[in-house]
Amino acid sequence: MYVCICNAVTDSQIIEAQNNGHKTMSDIRRHLGVGNCCGRCVETAKEVIRQNSGVQKYMPKVFATDILQPA
């Protein structure tokens, strides 16, 4: 899937770059040019990076004890 139309960069290229040591959006931007033109792809590129690094979006921790405490 194309992530960056301006520079014809795909999600596979981003993942390959990440797996080859370009770990941050800045590194990948310098390496592939993602986001260097209109910038509309930046959030999608960041999401590809997040998913490939196994980082989930912030989810607050809810403990069962918080829910089951008697009032």
List interacting residues with ligand FES (CB under 6 A).
4-7, 34-41
Residue 57 DSSP class? P
Minimum CB distance to ligand FES, residue 23 (Å): 19
Minimum CB distance to ligand FES, residue 29 (Å): 9
Alpha helices for 1-71 (secondary structure H): 11-19, 25-32, 42-53, 64-68
* Cβ-Cβ contacts under 8 Å for 1 (sequence gap 6 or more): 10, 11
Short-list 63, 9, 33, CA closest to 25: 33
Minimum CB distance to ligand FES, residue 45 (Å): 8
Select 30 or 59, whichever has its Cβ closest to ligand FES.
30
Select 17 or 68, whichever has its Cβ closest to ligand FES.
17
